[in-house]
Every structure is written in structure tokens, then in C-alpha cells.
Structure 1
Amino acid sequence: MRSANCVAAAAVLFGSALAAPITDPCIPQLDPNPVARAAAVSARRDGFIYGPSLTGEAAPFPNGTLGNARTKADYDEWNKDRTIIDELIALDVQSLQAAIQTNGGLNSWQDYERILYDGQLNNTNPRGPAPGIISNATQDLLFSMERLSEHPHAVRRVMANEPLPFPLDDAITSKIVGSENTLQSLQAGNRLFIVDHSYQAKYGVATVVERFPVACSAYFYIDPESGNFLPLAIRTNVDADLTYTPLDSANDWLLAKMMFNANDMFHAQMLHLVVSHDVTESVHQAALHTLSENHPIMILLERLMVQAYSSRIVGEELCFNPGGHWDQLMVFNQFGCRQFVTDSWPVDGRYQSGYLENNLRARGLIDANGQSVFNSFPFYDDAKRIRDNYFTFFTSFVNSYYKSENDLAGDFEVHNWFNEASTLAKAQDFPQEKDLSKKILIEVLTHFAYATSVSHHSVNGGAPIASGTLPFHIPAIYTAIPKEKGVKDLMPYLPDPATAVLYLGFMASFNRPFYGSDGRTLEDAFDATTVQRLNQDTKSASKALLDSMQELSQQIRSRAFDSQGLSQNMPFIYRTLDPAYIPFFCAV
């Protein structure tokens, strides 16, 4: 009997023609056939087993009859996209190699910009690099504002009562900031910020190609005069432990920013595994154990988990395997990657702490009222719009299926889901089942959708190839870092032509330029097909969600430089979270 139930459950799960007729989605207390419903949930629970985590110690990974079938199905679907993107990458790599050969190599900083990006990568990145990201790469304002747009997850305010992360001479600080400012006065005025990657010093270095590690910490500040967010100092935390500032030579300061970028790239790419893949997989696996296929919530969760369980398999197969992408390109090896995930999961994998405002407020980037502390915070502007759009949708959805708190109290499947998520599924900081309310359910669903879209694609979707451009954004340092200041030539620190092409191909593999034509972008998250079996209120909310996402997309696509050559007070145009371009799911 159990085997038959597993087959039936698998048929429903994968949409087989063998599946039994499905009634209208409903909460369990309204199901006309509760016995069959309970049997199907039990069969799925038996078929999905919590297996060991992949890529570090974080969320469990599905095992069991149905778990293995699900991961294989997700991988097969991902592989179809991989075939397409590999073909596009091959075309671009061929063009890049020909251009480099014609030029006689990459012989200057300008060659990296001109040869690698001028008319190249048209197949994998038809939008091209973010306007201004290359031409204005050496500007300090671009470097600092990338922390508030493309790489927003590591910056935090130095709190008034904490020890200063590292020292900086008062005379130097005053000369940069003006008006006799010191680190202490900036800290006391809530104007001092830190990005601290010093923890990376403990990770092992990849040896496929010789690279040299740094573990940079960087101070940023809000300028008292202009209000701009600007860089103040960068400390390498290794070897001679040099501290660089804008007062150093142009080459020294530019190298310092490049070294920092290598650390920040590693942080962003590894962090996204935790805050998107691990967070959503742990919660979804609990749902697979507790919610009926016929539960309205499950229908929406499944939509957001397209290809979800391919991601960590792909990582083990192509990225974090011996000799894989990380060993080939990044400074830290596969073991460092796994250690990062293990270290980060208990902190950055916390569910409620990951809510947009909770996270930014804890880092001192917004105030108690949710207002930004900066004169421009591009990531927050777009991320909040997307989160708010989702919140409005899920409010309508939850209120339509639960007319009262008593209706939710009677939904034992959702109560079981909450209980299992925070226990067996190991979801960190997930709301307790005893505290469940409509408000909390709306917040949970909103963050789930936020995690599969904003958390993932803000750093791992098309962003790396659109804004993580060479030669400024390097994945590693390719010659020994200086023991003293006075660098004359930056070329030895850059990847050689073969490595540069390999890196661009890898960055391109995150991009999915063809998703807009097949309904897999964020604006189509809950399309008509997904909600066709759901109630009318949800269908109306879905249409409103589409309209609001399209409106945001149009606004993002209309961004341009002002008379000062700035957009959102940045010397480049931020468009990473365009809902008409990025996927609604964690596309690898």
C-alpha cells in the first residue's frame, strides 16, 4: 500500500497523466476527501527524507524515493537551460578569443575594457554592461556606491558603542573628510561604516593557478558636506598589513580597491547560497512533508521553487569540485567555500532576521522608521518595491483563504509546516508554530518570494556579468601583494587573457537573457497558469502584482544620467533588479 501511495504522490508531484483527478485547492478542513488527502501527505512524507547538507553544513538536502526523483527532475530541467547558455557562451568565447588574438593579447588596462566589452558578449549579455560601470570604474563614488547597490549585503554602520575595527591616523582622516573629523567623531555621528572581510584570511588558497590572498577591511563614511557615501580606507589584513586611503598614489589606491573587490566578490557569491538557496530549501522541504499538493500555499511555493534542487548539485558538480570554477578562478578553494557556508548559516541563514527591514536595520543602514540613512540607497529602493509588491499579493491571498484567525488556527497542515520548518528542517529563526497568525504567515510567504528573487539575483543573477566587469572587479590577485606602497604597474595583478575569458564565461553562465521570452521573469511569478485553479481574489491579486512589477521595470529601464553624470547619485546606472529581466526563482 505504501509503495502505491508513493507512486501516486510522485505522479501528482511531477504532473504525470497517472495522477488522480484533483479538486479545487483548499485548506484541509474544507477538503471533501480528508482521508485521501492525509494519505497523500503521509506518502510524500515517507518519500522525502532529510538528507545531509550539500556545500557546507546548512539546510538538509532531499533524499528518499521522492526526494531523489525531485532532485533529478530539477536537474534535468536546469540542464535544458544549461545547454542553451553553454551554446551562447561558446559563441561569445570564440569572439573574445579572436578579438584578443587580433589585438596581440591584453596589454593595458584599456585593452581589458575595450577588447573584452566593446561589442562583445552580445549573446550572453545582450543588455551589455551597466552603463558607466566601465568608463567610470576608477571613481571613488562608483566604488562606494556599489556597496549600496550591487553588493549591499556586507556593509554595516560602525555602532557608537563598539570598538573601532581598525585604526586610522586622525590627521589622515581629517585630511580626507575635512573639518578635523576623526574616526571617533564619524562613529559618534553615525557616519562611519565598515565592510569587514578579514575572516577570509583563514581560508585555504586555490592552487590550480597561482593566486595571492587578501582579507580586506574597508571604512566608508557619509561626507558631512556633500552627504555622499564615500570610501575612507582599505586594510589588507595580511602580510605587511598595509592600510590604503585616497591620499595614496592613484595606482596604490586603485589596487587597494581591486583587492577589496576580490574579497567582496567571494563574499557575495558564497553568501547568496545561504540567504537564497539554503533558506528557501529548508522551508520548502518542511512544506513537502506537511502540506498537501492541493493546499493553495503549496501551489505558490512550488511555483517559486522551479529547478530549486538542482542548485547545490550543480555547485558540487561544477563550482566547488576539485578543479572546478572556484579552484580555477577564485582565490579561495572549494574547502574555503564550504567553510564559509558552515560559518554563515547560523547567522545569515536566519529567516526572520533576513526580512528586508530587519536585516538593514540591524546593520544600521535604515532607521527605526524604515528610512534610509543615505542620500541614495538604490538597492533598498528597488528591493523594497519588489518586497512590498509581494506583500500586497500575499495579503490578498492569505485573507481570501483565511477569512478569520480561527480559519488559520484550524489549518493543521500549516501548523505542522511551521513546527517542522523550525525543527527537523533546521530553518534558522523561523517563526514558532505557537505564534502563527495571518500576519506572520503573510510575512513568511513574502520573504520566501523575496529570497528566491531579490536575495538571489541582487548578487548572482545577471549582476556579475553586467557590473562585475574586468579589470576593476577581479576574482583574485595574480601576483604577490605589495609589502610597501609605490606600485608602478597594475597589469601583473590582473588575470591573463585565458583566465579573463574563462572568468567572463563563468560570469555569463549566471545570466538568462532568454527568460523574458518564456515567462520566467519576476513580473510573471504568479502568472495566469499558476493561479488558474486558485480563487478569484488571488487571480485579481496576481494581475495587480504583474502590473506593479511592470511599472517598476519601466521605471528602472528609464533611468539615465543627469546633468552631473549621475544616476541615483551614482556614476553608473543600476538596473540589476529589473522585474522584466531577472527570474522569479533561484536560477543557477
Structure 2
Amino acid sequence: MFVLNPGPEVSTEWMLYFEHLVKQATALTATTNFNASKVQTFLEDRLPLRVEADFQRAYKELADTGMMPAPLALDSSDENFSAMRLSILGNNLKLVHAGEYADYLWDIPCPLFQDVCGEPTLESTLSSHKLFVADLSDYGELTDEASTDSKYIPNVVGFFCNNIKKRQLLPLAITLVDSKLTYTKADSRGEWQLAKMAFHATEVNFQQMRHFVETHLVSVPVQVEMMRSLATEHPIYALLDYHFFADFGMEYFARRELLSPGTPYDLVTGYGATGSLRAVVREFETTSIALDLPTDLAAREMEFLPDYRLNRYGTKYYDAIKTFVR
């Protein structure tokens, strides 16, 4: 387990940490898009954006200016929604067992299981190990407390089926916990789309903070020990230095840009600065080096979802690095 240590806000120039921080912060700053205010004005001039086609057209016109690339995730289909859980999202997907989440699943009609899961009933879907859940049922509590009149991150639970015949992960149902309503593709197109948007909003806020803790903050003490204990010529130092690059800089910029009140991030995101900090503290309570990739995948029983990116690619990286280090 890790103790949250904010560290010094200002470092003296003779410290090795400061030398690395400056180098990393300089590299990160070079990736900054300085057109942010122009992008904001460009989009404001095209308000209101009422339908999906309005957003697609606005982003295409914005990309044509060269100020920023067009977003990649403009496809709102069920197939793409689930594909993102196999790639850039889905960090807490886990297998569902018989008796779990019964209150949310019991009234889903059998034809929907046949269509989405390729199984005739809930029971057969569970026994075939095809049903997965992303449980974010208490993450809405991290909504920015100072802006609840204008921000809302719902407590939500999403269910996905691994349809082996179609070779796709597909969304089965989304439950908004606060209203106790469960939505499926059998509902109106607008209701189903709003349910997917609600789930996506919560998961994006959750996953950004989990990624920050498990990928960057967990690496900082290891990087510090690397600098203390290994010669720069050591092959393990070369591997880790490349792998950890920018973690010091990201830790610094996170305190300044993500976890500080009044920043664009604070004003725009559902968690805001205070909610994001509470999310970081929450993630520290369950983060440990002992929870390595194989342990995490086994605990969530992700072997039943072979196309999951951490199964298909993550384990290969893990095994290669483990072999190199040994």
C-alpha cells in the first residue's frame, strides 16, 4: 500500500529530482496545444450543437483549421461503445457470477440475451462465462461538491456480453443506480444513447484517476529508488528510465493543472479538482505493487474475455519485461 505524499512544491536546483523534473516538464510542455482559447472561440461560434451531425461537422471543420485533430470516438454505435472497453477503457471489467446483480438483470427479456449474448437466457449466459460488469455504482459520489448545480456524474453499472459467435463485446444493459432504472437497446434510441453517455461520463472520470495512480504515481517511488541504487549505465536503469520518463513531470503538472481549483480541468470535468483528489486517495487505498498484471487479471477472471487488451497485449509486455529483468 502507498501513503499519499504530496512532496515539496518547490525543489532546490541542486537536487537530482529537480534536474529530472525540469527535463521531463520541458518535454511535456512541448506537447502543449497553445490553440486552446482559439478552439474554444471556434466551437462557441457554432453553438448550439443539437444533434450528432452538428458535432461531427464542427469537429471536422476544426480539424481542417489545423488547430487540433478530429476526435476519434465519434462512432456512437453499440459495437464501438463496447470496443472502447476492450481498448482504452474497461479497467474494472470483471466476470459476473450467478446471483450477482440480480436486481438489475432479472427483468431483461430473453430475446435480448439471445441477440446480445448469443445465449437464450440469463442463466445460460452466466454459466457460459459471457457476462461482464463495470461497477461504478458509488463513483458518482465524487462529483465536484461545489458545482452540483451544474455538474453530475451518475452512479452507474454497465453490463457487457462476450458474443463469441459475433466475435464482439456488446453492451447488454446500463443501470442508473440513483433512479434504479435499467436501460437496454430495447428502449428508445434516445434513452439508450443517454444511458451510454451517462456510463461513459462516469467511467472516463474514474479511469483517468485510476490511470494516474496505477501508471504514474505508483512508479514515482520506484523511479526514485532506481536513481539512488543503479548506475546510469546499468541495463535495468536504461529500461526503467525509458519506461518511467515524464512521471515526475506529470506528477508536478497534475498538482498544478488537475488538482488545483480554478483550472480549465476543474471547471469542465465532473469530478473537478476536489473530486479528482478524493478519487486519487480512494485509488491509493487499493493500489499495491502486489496487485500486478497477472494478479489483477486473475482476480477479475478476464481469461474469459481473450480479446481484452491486457490479455492480448499486456501479458506479452509483462512476460517480455519479466524475462529481460531476470
Structure-2-length-normalised TM-score = 0.83
Instruction: For residues 521-562 of structure 1, give each alpha carbon's deviation from its aligned partner in whole angstroms, at most 9, with x where no partner exists.
Output: xxxxxxxxxxxxxxxxxxxxxxxxxxxxxxxxxxxxxxxxxx
Give the aligned CA root-mean-square deviation in angstroms: 3.3
Q: Does 1:194 align with 2:133?
A: yes
Q: Which protein has greater RCO, CA pairs closer than 8 Å, 6+ apart?
A: 1
Change (3 A) 1:76 1:145: same
Give the Å deviation of 1:235. 1.1
Change (3 A) 1:176 1:388: same
Q: Quick one: distance in 1 between partners of 2:87 and 2:203?
A: 13
2:299 to 358, 362, 366: 362
Letter in 1 for 2:100: L
- Equivalent residue for 2:108? 172
Q: Quick one: distance in 1 between partners of 2:38 and 2:6?
A: 40
Letter in 1 for 2:248: Y
Change (3 A) 1:241 1:171: closer
Q: Which moved more, 1:208-217 or 1:265-274?
A: 208-217
Give the Å deviation of 1:234. 0.8
- Equivalent residue for 1:265? 204
Q: Secondary structure at the match of 2:251?
A: helix
Change (3 A) 1:60 1:97: closer
Letter in 2 for 1:362: A
What is the count of residue pairs matched by the alignment? 321
Instruction: For residues 221-252 of structure 1, give each alpha carbon's deviation from its aligned partner in whole angstroms, at most 9, with x where no partner exists.
Output: 223753532111111112x2321111110000
Instruction: For residues 246-290 of structure 1, give each alpha carbon's deviation from its aligned partner in whole angstroms, at most 9, with x where no partner exists.
Output: 111000000000000001101110011111112211222233444
- Equivalent residue for 2:31? 85
Q: Quick one: distance in 2 between partners of 1:259 and 1:230?
A: 17
C-alpha contact 2:82 2:171 (8 A) present in aligned 1 = yes
Letter in 1 for 2:280: V
Letter in 2 for 1:383: G
Larger Rg belongs to: 1
Q: Does 1:155 align with 2:93?
A: yes
Instruction: For residues 418-441 of structure 1, give each alpha carbon's deviation from its aligned partner in whole angstroms, at most 9, with x where no partner exists.
Output: xxxxxxxxxxxxxxxxxxxxxxx5
Q: Quick one: distance in 2 between partners of 1:284 and 1:169?
A: 45
1:231 to 171, 188, 197: 171
Q: Secondary structure at the match of 2:87?
A: coil
Instruction: For residues 89-143 of structure 1, give each alpha carbon's deviation from its aligned partner in whole angstroms, at most 9, with x where no partner exists.
Output: 41x6525634652x454243211111023451775655x543xx32x31x11111
Give the Å deviation of 1:157. 0.7
Q: Does 1:324 align with 2:268?
A: no
Q: Secondary structure at the match of 1:147?
A: helix
Q: Secondary structure at the match of 2:132?
A: strand
Change (3 A) 1:352 1:235: same
Q: Quick one: distance in 2 between partners of 1:331 and 1:63?
A: 26
Q: Quick one: distance in 2 between partners of 1:290 and 1:64?
A: 24
Give the Å deviation of 1:328. 0.9
What are the within-5 Å matches in structure 2 for residues 43-442 of structure 1?
Answer: 57-58=3-4, 61=7, 69-86=15-32, 88-90=33-35, 94=38, 97-98=41-42, 101=45, 103=46, 105-118=48-61, 120=63, 123=66, 128-130=70-72, 133-134=73-74, 136-137=75-76, 139-160=77-98, 163-168=99-104, 170-178=106-114, 181-207=120-146, 210-223=150-163, 226-238=166-178, 240-293=179-232, 295-347=234-286, 349-355=287-293, 357-366=294-303, 373-374=305-306, 376-378=307-309, 380-391=311-322, 394=324, 441-442=325-326
Instruction: For residues 126-171 of structure 1, give each alpha carbon's deviation from its aligned partner in whole angstroms, at most 9, with x where no partner exists.
Output: 5x543xx32x31x1111112111121312111135xx413524545
C-alpha contact 2:12 2:18 (8 A) present in aligned 1 = no
Letter in 2 for 1:232: L
Give the Å deviation of 1:81. 3.8
What are the within-5 Å matches in structure 2 for residues 502-541 of structure 1?
Answer: none
Structure-1-length-normalised TM-score = 0.49
Letter in 2 for 1:381: R
Q: Quick one: distance in 2 between partners of 1:227 and 1:258?
A: 24
C-alpha contact 2:159 2:173 (8 A) present in aligned 1 = yes
Q: Quick one: distance in 1 between partners of 2:64 and 2:256?
A: 25
C-alpha contact 1:246 1:253 (8 A) present in aligned 2 = yes
Q: Quick one: distance in 1 between partners of 2:67 and 2:288?
A: 34
Q: Quick one: distance in 2 between partners of 1:290 and 1:279?
A: 18
Q: Quick one: distance in 1 between partners of 2:119 and 2:240?
A: 54
Instruction: For residues 188-216 of structure 1, give each alpha carbon's deviation from its aligned partner in whole angstroms, at most 9, with x where no partner exists.
Output: 32111100111213324254581123011
Q: Secondary structure at the match of 1:350?
A: coil
C-alpha contact 2:11 2:18 (8 A) present in aligned 1 = no
Q: Secondary structure at the match of 1:353?
A: coil
Letter in 2 for 1:233: A
Unaligned runs of 5+ in 1: 1-52, 368-372, 395-440, 443-588
Q: Quick one: distance in 2 between partners of 1:67 and 1:73?
A: 7
Letter in 1 for 2:225: A
Q: Secondary structure at the match of 2:86?
A: coil
Share of identical aligned residues, percent? 21
